[in-house]
Structure 1
Amino acid sequence: MTSPEQKAKQEDEVLKIIKTTRRLLPEELDPAGEVWWRDHYNWLKSRGYLLRPRYSPNWVPSWITSKKGWVECEDGKRLEFAQNIDATRTSDGTVVSLKRFKRKHHPHEVDIALYFSSETLASQAANHCVPIWEVLAVEDVDDTVIIVMPLLRAYSDPHFDTFGEAVECFRQLFEGLHFMHKHRVAHRDCMSGNIMLDPSKLYPDSFHPMETSLKRDYSGFAKHFTRTQRPPKYYFIDFGLSRRYGPSETNPLEEPIWGGDKEVPEFQNNSKTPCNPFPTDVFYIGNAIKKDFVQAKRGFEFMQPLVADMTQTDPSKRPNMDEVISRFDQIRRGLSGWKLRARVVDKDEDALEAVVRTASHWTRRIGFVARRVPAIPTTSS
């Protein structure tokens, strides 16, 4: 039997085929997603959310009436994901993120997301689940809902300047997953793509949602601070595969379902054996750190023993999140101030990039030491 999640993935594949059948002109909306948002532009506006000009029914491409090429224009950029779009909340001008989906495909997503956004849990600092500000039922499409969230940014962008910044990121991610597990929720897809950061402090003037290195109006590069200057909070998103269990369900068993990380050992060889999703979450987050830091950057060997245990082939041998938190705390306390303030270097960094980044890094570093800015930046929110 085809599960709702598998059916949703099949529909996504059909949309991809439609999208790649013919190369669209810049002024043509993508039928796999953009047309839907255009058709609901006025309805969303009536609900207090204004889409960018590209999705207005009266849109006229700006490059037609200007001397610019379409690649230089804000409205020339397509959506990256058909189900997601940004909008401006008309009540206060806040830029938000909208995600649409059918409840039958992801029947638990709204309930779990709202659970962590409840008044009791939302105020807890250890909660790193993306806040849900509103749920809109689409009136003319059965079973379709739109969830309204803050506009977030990929957790690895901008680049990490110091080891202290990365260590604080790890701490928050472990804290957030521990919080979910403590409340008997398994994320089941907490890989790199579902980890984001709140950019509101890092990017005080915001950025273009589809071209994140640029200002929202495409007038230049978006100004940003380092994570030491403006420490961000990290969030887990996308609860489409997540499940919540009762206190008595100490060893829940679920049939394997693929998330974004295809390396989960217990899912290999087309395994259908039900397994506990909590150790799988531990693998996901450990593998994200392994790939994004231990393997991609220099100097993260201090995380290797913990990451190796988190990604063991046998799920029963992986530490639970209580153990991960405890072991990571020991690792963190063993790092010197010199190490924590050192520059994070990509393994594929070229010579010119190294010179530029090293010079700017040392200028900031000297200033931070002089002002006694903590080597591990922490956010107060």
Structure 2
Amino acid sequence: MAIDFDSIITDPLLRADFAAAAALFEAFPPESNLLPYEVFWRDHQVWLQEKGYMLRPRYHPDWVPSALSHPETRTINLEDACTPNKAHLLDARRLLTGEVVMLKKILKSEHPYEVLIHKHLTTGALASHQHPTDIRGSQVHPSMQYSSSVRLFVVVPRKVYDFFLTSDCGFWNIMMDATDLYPDGFHPMCQLLDATWTRKPVLAKYYTRTRTPVKYYFIDFGISCVFDPDDTSPIEIPVRAGDKSAPDFEDDSLVPINPFPTDVYYIGNVIRKDIKRAYRGIDFMDSLVNDMVQVDPMKRPTMNEVVERFEQIRRSLPWWKLRSRLRSPHEDSAVPTCK
């Protein structure tokens, strides 16, 4: 089914996002070629192809905007007019397998440990370590055309461990792998649309998460640390993450502290601020969340205790509660059940 963006975007926040995108297209029409932060990717397209990763046509050196040959089509409906919203991230297709991956540009001067942590998690004994929680991260390639301070990071499945500290496990660093939800795939820059989108947007076919469970991942390890697994109370100088509300940093002190309770706070605050405020019907999490965001870090449960208590809560809920959908605060009290 071919559609126009205006006919499928009903959420006011999404409409605002697409209005902003349309304004960007007007400011930088396709005839003016790439946005400044996209030049890096165009300049690396041939090199990435040699490494086994294909970028979309927009980033090929010989790219000609399709808006020039199809002036009757709205620019925002053209796939090759779609720009990434993060300058350091871009999608690509792995030539060997055909799978879609994300590329991340890393500046070692800003995040000197991210590549080291990646290597720590993906080499030696840790590469085969079995653990029920997943993250994503593989293959690091030094850029050949820029200085040695630039690295390209390709994301594919790996594992995470009890002694691994993310330091920035906020809302925006928790991602969902939607591969199984979309049997025919989806466009990496607009998940509403089919992977074959070129000139006419087509809605992607999808399943519900009840039918096809998904996995969630922590990403972005620019300020992460790895500790000895026997050291349950390491002491480190505090590092402020995206969530600035942690009471651990209220006095701006550089006195070393145990950073693990701060991770517990961050995850608890995601549930409290980003989930509970947006949806009704999850009051069963209140007791656990309140403990996770205690002002005194020493009164917070450990992450293992959080997992254990969450499992106890989950097992205590009836099946109809687990299968009921989340409701916004503006809906009535009826709770439809997913069959």
- Do the two structures share a fold, i.e. TM-score over 0.5? yes
Who is 2:311 aligned against? 329
Task: Render the CA deviation track for 1:296-346: whole Å, top value 9, x for unaligned.
Answer: 111111001100110111111111012112221221121112211222112
111-120 vs 201-210, which deviates more? 111-120
Residue 193 of structure 1, CA deviation: 0.7
Identity across matched positions, percent: 42
1:210 to 172, 177, 189: 189
What code does the residue aligned with 1:105 have?
Answer: E
Q: SS state of the match for residue 267, structure 2?
A: helix
Please show how residues 370-381 of structure 1 align to structure 2 within 5 Å. Answer: none
CA distance in 1, matches of 2:180, 2:204: 13
Cα distance, 1:250 vs structure 2: 4.1
Task: Give the AA of the match of 1:60.
Answer: V
What is the aligned partner in structure 2 of residue 12 from structure 1?
A: none
2 CA distance for matches of 1:326 and 1:92? 38
SS of 1:86's partner is strand
Matched positions, count: 307
Which of 301, 318, 339 is the equivalent residue of 2:300?
A: 318
Question: Residue 42 of structure 2: which of 33, 38, 59 is its match?
Answer: 38
Residue identity opposite 1:54 in structure 2? R
Q: Secondary structure at the match of 2:168?
A: coil
- Report the counterpart of residue 59 of structure 1 in structure 2: 63
Residue pair 1:99, 1:146 contacting (<8 A) in 2 also: yes
Q: Is the 8 A contact 2:210 2:323 kept in 1?
A: no
| Among 106, 125, 137, the residue aligned to 2:111 | 106
User: Cα distance, 1:269 vs. partner?
Assistant: 4.4
How many Å separate the matches in 1 of 2:217 and 2:196?
26
1: CA distance between counterparts of 2:86 and 2:63? 20
Cα distance, 1:287 vs. partner? Answer: 0.8
Q: Which residue of structure 2 lines up, in the alignment, with residue 267 of structure 1?
A: 249
Query: Residues of 2 paired with 1:114 and 1:236: CA distance?
Result: 16
Q: 2:30, 2:67 within 8 Å by CA — same for their partners in 1?
A: no
1:130 correspondence with 2:136: yes
| Residue among 41, 57, 74 paired with 1:69 | 74
How do residues 226-265 of structure 1 correspond to structure 2 at under 5 angstroms?
Answer: 226-247=208-229, 249-265=231-247
Taking structure 2 as the reference length, the TM-score comes to: 0.83
Match of 2:7 in 1: none
- Structure 1 Cα separation of the partners of residues 330 and 254 of structure 2: 39
Q: Is the 8 A contact 1:113 1:129 kept in 2?
A: no
**Partners of 2:48 and 2:250 in 1: how far apart?**
42
Q: CA deviation at 1:264?
A: 1.2
Counterpart of 2:86? 81
Corresponding residue number in structure 2 for 1:187:
166
**Alignment partner of 1:117 is 2:122:** yes
Distance 1:121 1:321 in 2: 22
- In 1, the alpha carbon distance for the partners of 2:30 and 2:223 equals 34
Mapping of residues 92-103 of structure 1, within 5 Å: 92-103=97-108
Q: TM-score, normalised by structure 1?
A: 0.74
- Secondary structure of the residue aligned to 2:291 is helix
**Counterparts of 2:325 and 2:232, CA distance in 1:** 43
Paired position in structure 1 for 2:3: none
Secondary structure of 1:343's match? coil
Checking the alignment, whether the CA contact within 8 Å between 1:83 and 1:100 is kept in structure 2 is yes
* d(CA) in 1 for partners of 2:44, 2:269: 39
Distance in 1 of aligned mates of 2:128 and 2:285: 30
CA RMSD in angstroms, aligned pairs only: 2.5
Give the Cα–Cα distance (whole angstroms) in 2 for the partners of residues 273 and 299 of structure 1. 40
Q: Which moved more, 1:108-117 or 1:207-216?
A: 108-117
Taking CA–CA contacts closer than 8 Å with sequence separation of 6 or more, which of the two structures ends up with the larger relative contact order? Answer: 1
CA distance in 1, matches of 2:169, 2:224: 10
Structure 1 letter corresponding to 2:305: E
Q: Residue 113 of structure 2 aligns to which amino acid in structure 1?
A: H
Q: Which position in structure 2 is the counterpart of 1:277? A: 259
Question: Is the counterpart of residue 145 in structure 1 residue 154 in structure 2?
Answer: no
